[in-house]
Amino acid sequence: HLDDPVKRQKVLELVRGLDLTADTQKKIRDVFESEMELGLAKNPPVASSLQMENTFLPELCDGSEEGDYLSLDLGGTNFRVIWLRIKSGAVVSEAVQYYQVPEDVRLGPGVKLFDFLAECIHNFMDGRQLKGQNLPLGFTFSFPMTQQGLDVGILVSWTKSFNCSGVVGEDAVKMLNDAIHRRGDTDVDVIAVLNDTTGTLVQGAFVDRKCAIGLILGTGSNACYIERADRIEKWEGEHKDVKEVVIDVEWGAFGDNGVLDFIKTEYDKEVDRNSLLVGSFTFEKHFGGKYLGEIVRCVLVRLTKEGLLFQSNASEELLQHGAFTTRFVSLIEEDNVNGVDVNTTGALNELKLAFNKEDIEIVKYICWLVSDRAAILVSICTASLLERMDRPETTVAIDGSLFKHHPRLKSFMEKYIAAMAPANKFQLMLAEDGSGKGAGLIAAIASRLK
Ligand code: ADP
């Protein structure tokens, strides 16, 4: 709604690349589908950027689960032990305890880390009179790993604040089981390992049996879905009785091999250049919660430099990496929904910017554009999974603060997915705490399958 048509034209010109044309969207989908096939192939001619990890989880909850289960959720500085009691497929009681992993444990020898985890499990059970019971445990291990079975997870590399020696290349489940057995006073068996994405799908399917896709839209992004076993060419071990299995797409890294270069704008390239792992996690850098605000910031800085915003004066605050948070994007999008400016002016004041009515209009437009692109990118891949599974009706279980707090990501996604997979009915469902409860539920499924 800018009065000056020349200025309007200049702004549109500088953000054109963020507006994905129908042709570009089609190309993204084609590339995603061919990368999925390459990721499932036995001897792919070129490496895929999609890992398409086999989780070895052949089914979800069927309502017959019963008993007491533990989950362990390790990924941040806090880790959790959770206990679930399930009767006739429903959780009838649960308890959770948070523990801090001390820095010297996070950075010390791996054996010490797993001894520490085993000690926490012991204390948790002791305090709850669970002592003496043999309890199956599901382990959410949110680090890059390759699975060789439902209960085998080989650590590829440590990330976040962890760097324990002697664990890379080893099976985290075995290390945890060994630590538990070394104690001799804790009767727990680690029977499944998973990441938050698989946990979200399992947790979602517990609530709604139509769930067949798990999606994370938080700091980063990932998805998993149910694949036909006969399509997983690379699966070598014995599995002739398995019809389906959950595949973890690991789509955060989609495009790390260059196949998505055609969608990168100068803003995406700048976000990548300023990120911790340059050249990695290409797809999620286009819309993950860690990056969405930063993309908007890069656009605003450029428009300011071009004399199109804030009378060419960028504040020191605006020039700081990370200063424009994804929370701001959500707040400004709320203004777009409500037809007001209150959150936008609040954010711009916080960034110590001098602004007029036109600046507000432009900032609101950029937040919409970047959010809309986020929804389109996630929808392209989600629609592709829906068509691939081709079920009459599918629920997509979604976790993560970006999905939870952005005021209209969900409605944008509903609109785009419906248009992109017109024959497949679907619902988007918020499914929180897959990394916690989901692990206990997987332990219940694994016990049933034994
Ligand atoms: P994680 O993905 O690390 O497990 P979360 O799901 O809580 O954790 O996601 C954290 C991300 O959510 C952060 O990158 C942050 O930018 C983003 N976020 C936090 N609050 C909001 C908000 N109000 N709107 C949109 N994104 C948000």
How does pLDDT run across 153-183, given as a tens digit for each residue?
A: 999 999 888 999 999 999 999 999 999 999 9
- Whether residue 181 is contained in a domain is answered as yes
DSSP 375-391: HHHHHHHHHHHHHHHT-
Other Cβ atoms less than 10 A from the Cβ of 3: the count is 9
Tokens standing for residue 378: 């996630």
Assigned token pair, 423: 């024959």
User: pLDDT tens-digit profile of 8-58?
Assistant: 999 999 999 999 999 999 999 999 999 999 999 999 999 999 999 999 999
pLDDT digits (tens, 9 = 90+) for 197-218: 999 999 999 999 999 999 999 9
Confidence of residue 77 (pLDDT cuts 50, 70, 90): low
Average pLDDT over residues 137-156: 95
Listed in order, strand segments (DSSP E) in 20-59 are 53-54
Q: Quote the tokens at residue 442.
A: 């997987």
Residues 168, 158 contacting (CB under 8 angstroms): yes
Residue 30 maps to a domain:
no
- For residue 289, give the ligand 1 atom closest to its CA: 14
Residues annotated as catalytic are 160, 196
**Residue whose CA is at the smallest distance from ligand 1 atom 16:** 289
CA of 179 to the centre of ligand 1 (A): 34
128 confidence band (pLDDT: 50, 70, 90):
confident
Domain-embedded: residue 114: yes
Instruction: Report the CATH number that the domain containing residue 120 is assigned in CATH.
Output: 3.30.420.40
Residue 312 lies in a domain: no
What is the total count of domains within the chain?
1
Rounded to an integer, what distance in angstroms lies between the CA atom of residue 432 and that of residue 214?
Answer: 11
Give the pLDDT score at 299: 98
> Distance (Å, rounded) from C-alpha 374 to C-alpha 335?
18
Q: What residues does 428 pair with on adjacent strands? A: 396
Q: Of how many residues is the chain composed? A: 450
Beta-bridge partners for 398 = 215, 430
> Residue 81 is part of which domain span?
67-204+434-445
Which has more pLDDT, 342 or 130? 342
Task: Name the pLDDT band for 76 (thresholds 50, 70, 90).
Answer: low
Position 406 scores a pLDDT of: 98
Q: Which residues pair with 67 in a beta bridge?
A: 86
**96 in a structural domain:** yes
Cα(327) to ligand 1 centroid in Å equals 8
**What residue ranges in 229-307 does DSSP mark as E strands?**
244-248
Query: Is the ipTM value over 0.90, yes or no?
Result: yes
pLDDT for residue 379: 98
Pocket test for ligand 1, best of 275, 276, 326 (most atoms within 8 A of CB): 326
In the chain, what percentage of residues exceed pLDDT 70? 100
Ligand 1 cavity residues, CB under 6 Å? 218-219, 289-290, 326-327, 330, 400-402, 405-406
The position carrying tokens 């075995």 is 174
Distance from Cα 109 to the centre of ligand 1, integer Å: 31
Average pLDDT taken over every residue of the chain: 96
